[in-house]
A and B are shown apart, each in its own frame.
Chain A
């Protein structure tokens, strides 16, 4: 039972990680919390439902479609909800937060309209495949989810630290005006970042679909809130922090249910935040110098 619960926790944690990475990327560059991310994630999950269930196509097509559609949604989000507010005189720094909340409400209702209110099944034979070691059953899906989360984290770290685009992104994160003076096309960097973050949301959506077979228009909210909790836990804008925070949250939720009272499951994320904010306000991996950014 311990090992099975450990695997359950790692699966849930890995999904949290992928959701949180999307938040942390946008926050790292733009210093805003993208409240629409949870709903973009939900749209990714619905793309999976349409591709695997309605069209009966294989799983990798679902990944491709979800990445493309959520990427496009990310572009629209940046183009219509963020760009018009950027660099304008007299725009409050809270305005982008509010406009992304607007996007989230719009997307949730759109999903409600197009896909219906209830849960949609996610049919793929892949979710049945498993190996049994001793008394423990491990599903390939669970391994896949864990591997994808790890790959995304390392890929993102590598991209940010080693590639030119990544360096441009970090420069823009440091200071938009200076980066722009030094020849970085900051407009493109920002658009690119939001698109990549949204595509990661799409991937996370598919992962939830195959892991839990539960896709509905309201799922964006609960996963979105958990994602926010994780980036505060791990340190805002920090990739390793998102990874650690996600796994910690997934494991602690699972073990709380396994050995404690399942009624407190959703409380644990927020209890953890309160504790972290008291003990280490910058988050587990955050650095206090990041304050100077704003």
Chain B
């Protein structure tokens, strides 16, 4: 018995040695920065993504988006990017060691990722220290771009999405009075409420009442009857789609027909499945809308579907645009130099991607108009 374990152990040791040497071979060509024979600017981009574990779906979408973008960029021939993909497993320490490997032994010129905001909070300062430009394509937490001069992101936070949808709804429906309804036992819906309250104050809207509910509640009729009698022009509802869809259903049944504005948690096709007809009139803002009438979006969706068999989600689209932004910076810098790429990234203005028209502000945060959607005829369409 004991002997067998020993044998197994030594076989494993030999095997892992072989694997380790194989890994070592990959990194030998570090540091060659030159312009290729065909005039394309060569650069090495490190990618840190959540590829194993419960959130592996995000990492898969992100790397799919990146690979598709890289294939198209290679065909276009202006830049020649090499992607070095590392797994973070959604963990801070693994993200950090992946980042150190990319920066110090692979000598990448820039990094895309990591997937989670918590990971970015440890990787961002390290990149800043090493002077490597880094761009998050899926981090929405407060404070990510403020981590340093070299830290960027192209994913819009909730604080930007809600004001955009409220603003559009106000213009369209001439709103004066709003009612606010939110789930007070969930961090996400509570944060959405804080944004809604601030938006209502900033836009000088009269808040007729603020009502709350709890996760999993069934009966919203008391709150809705109260709201109905106060006659608001618009209802701001910070709810997750599960409760939100039921709220819409009960509201429409009692004849409360004013439009609703929801946060990102309310933005799901499930709303239509649960509430049916009653979901019409729900307005949400989203960074990514796959059915937008736009050439770029259409060809991206088509190519993505051909390559991976599914429709690209928000994470794939943000990663896709992320690499395009990076490529634009590499092209404008003209040389694979970390500082030059950082400056070129910061200087990007009105870049057209599949998400929309993007620029960076002085912090390195994305500036773009999110797409505002409304449910009409039981489907999401662009709200104009």
A: residues with CB less than 8 A from B are 1, 4-5, 8-9, 11-12, 118-121, 123, 127-128, 137, 139, 208, 211-214, 216, 218-219, 221-223, 253-255, 257-258, 261-263, 265-266
Contacts and interface: CB of A to CB of B under 8 A. Distances in A.
Given A137-B255, A212-B246, A263 B273 contact: no
B217 to A, nearest CB: 7
Sorted nearest first, the 6 A-B pairs with minimum C-beta distance are: A257-B222, A214-B246, A212-B218, A254-B222, A214-B218, A1-B229
The residue in A127, A212, A261 that gathers the most chain B C-beta atoms within 10 A of its C-beta is: A212
Nearest to B214: A266
The residue in A211, A221, A223, A255 that gathers the most chain B C-beta atoms within 10 A of its C-beta is: A211
Contacts of A223: 218
B184 interface: yes
Nearest to B221: A8
B246 A5 contact: no
Interface string B188-227: 0000000000000000000000011110111111110110
18 contacts: A1-B225, A5-B226, A8-B219, A8-B221, A9-B222, A212-B220, A212-B246, A213-B246, A214-B218, A214-B246, A214-B249, A216-B242, A218-B216, A222-B217, A222-B218, A223-B218, A258-B226, A265-B222
Nearest to B217: A222
B250 interface: yes
A118 B226 contact: no
A128 to B, nearest CB: 7
B253 to A, nearest CB: 7
A12 B214 CA distance: 16
A121 B276 contact: yes
B222 A123 contact: no
A255 B221 CA distance: 11
B205 to A, nearest CB: 20
B219 A212 contact: yes
Given A118-B242, A216-B242, A262-B213, 19 more contacts: A1-B225, A1-B229, A4-B225, A8-B225, A12-B222, A118-B274, A119-B242, A119-B245, A119-B246, A119-B274, A123-B276, A211-B219, A214-B246, A221-B216, A222-B218, A257-B223, A258-B222, A258-B225, A265-B213
B60 to A, nearest CB: 22
A257 B214 contact: no
B216 A216 contact: yes
B186 interface: no
Contacts of A121: 249, 273-276
Contacts of A212: 218-221, 246, 250
B212 A262 contact: yes
Interface string B275-308: 1100000000000000000000000000000000
B209 to A, nearest CB: 9
A258 B223 CA distance: 7
A265 B213 CA distance: 8
B70 to A, nearest CB: 36
Interface string B219-239: 111110110010000000000
Contacts of A139: 253
B12 interface: no
Contacts of B253: 127-128, 139, 213
B216 A262 contact: no
Contacts of A254: 221-222
B270 interface: yes
A128 B278 CA distance: 12
B270 A118 contact: yes
B254 interface: yes
A254 B222 CA distance: 5
A120 B219 contact: no
A4 B211 CA distance: 17
A128 B255 CA distance: 11
Contacts of A221: 216
Contacts of A127: 253
Nearest to A213: B249
A242 B27 CA distance: 74
Contacts of B214: 265-266
A9 B225 CA distance: 11
A263 B222 contact: no
A255 B214 CA distance: 17
B211 A219 contact: no
The residue in A9, A127, A254 that gathers the most chain B C-beta atoms within 10 A of its C-beta is: A254
A11 B222 CA distance: 11
A223 B216 CA distance: 11
Contacts of B225: 1, 4-5, 8, 258
A219 B216 contact: yes
Nearest to A142: B221
A1 B253 CA distance: 16
Given A1-B229, A118-B242, A121-B273, A219 B213 contact: no
Nearest to A45: B218
The residue in B216, B273, B276 that gathers the most chain A C-beta atoms within 10 A of its C-beta is: B216
Contacts of A8: 219, 221-222, 225
A208 B218 contact: yes
Contacts of B223: 257, 262
A211 B219 CA distance: 8
The residue in A11, A119, A263 that gathers the most chain B C-beta atoms within 10 A of its C-beta is: A119
Nearest to A208: B218
Contacts of B274: 118-121
